[in-house]
Structure formats: structure tokens, C-alpha cells
Chain A
Amino acid sequence: MKKSVLFISCDEAKHICDKAQYDEASSWEKIKLNIRLIYCNVTQKYYKRNKKLTNVVKSSNAECLNLKEREALEMKFKKELSKH
């Protein structure tokens, strides 16, 4: 079956929706997602939930160690661990 230019599958819509949370969806992808959002309940639900998750994580100011910090911590700890 020939793939439609405008109409995308639910899975593809979810994929674009994920990318959009990180500003990595292109304008064309966003248009396709918006078309799907008009008529698909599943996509609408996913979109709403996904956006809510993004907002919750952003508003929490949750932090974690970046790669360098984690590496430094690991090195220091392993050095000490080898003595035990």
C-alpha cells in the first residue's frame, strides 16, 4: 500500500509527539501530527499525557549527575572500594 504524505499511523504520530517534547520534530512532522490529532482519540490521549509528563519533569527541577560528574564520583568510590 502506498504511504500517505499527510495521513500518518498512530505509531508514527506517537514517535513525532515524543520528538516534539524535545523540540526535535520538524515543521512538516508537526503538521502531520496536528492532522492526526484532529481525528484520532488515541493520539490525542497520548499527546496530552506526554505533554503533561514534560511539564511535570520541567517544573520539578529534578537534577542528576552529568557524565563527567558521575565518572569522577565512580572513580573516587572505586578507589576506596578496592581497599575493602
Chain B
Amino acid sequence: MPKHEINPNKWIELYSDYLFNYTISRVNDREMAQDLVSETFLAGLKSMKNFKGDASERTWLISILKRKIIDYYRKINSNKGKAEVRIGYNDDAESEGDWLEERVADPFDKTAEDTLQNEELGDAIHNCLSKLPQKQADVFKMKTILNYETEVICNELNITASNLWVIVHRARTAMADCLEKNWL
């Protein structure tokens, strides 16, 4: 008997944000990330028969998404001759001497290690969010990640402001517990 069952009716609710965060940290383009997530869900629907249930739905969808991301990079790199070297230096007399500064490594630039750590932390946050009750997760995302105004969230979820703060408090406590166990 398979360990995991498949239920596409819940995919958007359960996995869309996790997959989106996973994608955007790798392709760095919001619109493209949305397209890739959408394509992943559609591909998942088409190949539902192949789901054996050995891995969880999320792991299975991530494996589809990984292939989509690889395809995306293959596609943008396949057009040979497109690569060009852009050097923003011009020989304008006024900017004489500026070229050296332009080429000095930016100390605020992120290293590969920083990027990797951020990706992992982003994944850890979404993992913890997936463990919260749906309403708490929605409120936390809207308030903390999307930075929506309290009024907007209250209207959207049809709750009062005091109700919202109770949910925020519970969500924050649960998130801190979870991240302390898994990250901090």
C-alpha cells in the first residue's frame, strides 16, 4: 500500500507558496517563477498516474519543478552567441579614473554561501509555515512576508483587528518554536 496519497485539489493551498519560494530563489524572476510553478502543477496533473506514493506529494512536485528549472536554464543558455561581455566603462574624460572603483568587489554583494544560506532559511521558514494551521499561516505570510496592512488582511479574511493580533501572536510563537528547533 502506498505511504502517501495524491490529492490535487489541495495543491495550491498546501504547496504553491513553498514551490514559489523555492523557484524564485533560484531563477530570480517573479513572473518566470509563477510560470514555472504553474507548469509544475499542470505537469503533476498530467503525470498523476506515475505517483507511486513512496515520497510525499511535495517531494514529488519539487522533483518535477527541479526539472522545469533545469529546462529553463537550458533554454536561456542554448542560444549560442548570445553571451556578451558588458563593461560599463566609457572613455568619457569626466569619469577618468572612475574605472578602478567600478571594478572593486562590492563588500555588500552577496557571496554564493550567503545566497545558499538564504535559500535554506527560506525553505526552513516555509517548512515551519506548512506546520501551522491554515489561517495562522495565511495571516503570518500576509503580515510578515507580504507586508500587507492590517486593514487589508482583516477585509480579505473577514476578521477583526483584535482577532488578527491574536492569530499573529499564536503564529509568531509557533514559528519561533519551529525555527529554533530547525534553524536557529
Contact = CB atoms under 8 A, between A and B. Distances in A.
A36 to B, nearest CB: 16
> Interface SS of chain B: helix, strand, loop or mixed?
helix
A60 B34 contact: no
A77 B41 contact: yes
B21 A64 contact: yes
A1 interface: no
Nearest to B143: A22
A42 interface: no
Contacts of A54: 144
Contacts of B125: 56-57, 60, 62
B183 A14 contact: no
Contacts of B118: 59-61
B156 interface: yes
Contact of B183 (A24, A56, A81): A56
A73 B143 contact: no
A18 B169 contact: yes
A65 B184 contact: no
B184 to A, nearest CB: 7
In which size bucket is the chain B interface?
35 or more
Contacts of B141: 64
Contact of B122 (A15, A60, A70): A60
Contacts, number: 95
Contacts of A24: 150
> Interface SS of chain A: helix, strand, loop or mixed?
helix
B183 A65 contact: no
A44 interface: no
Interface string B45-62: 100100000000000000
A73 B176 contact: no
A37 B173 CA distance: 18
Contacts of B17: 64-65
A81 B9 contact: yes
Interface in A49-79: 49-50, 52-54, 56-57, 59-67, 69-70, 72-74, 76-77
Given A49-B176, A50-B172, A65 B121 contact: no
Given A15-B165, A61-B122, A63-B145, A69 B45 contact: no
Smallest CB-CB A-B distances: 9 pairs: A64-B17, A60-B121, A62-B122, A62-B125, A53-B176, A60-B122, A63-B24, A64-B141, A74-B12
11 contacts: A21-B144, A21-B172, A50-B176, A64-B20, A66-B146, A67-B156, A70-B16, A73-B37, A73-B41, A77-B42, A84-B48
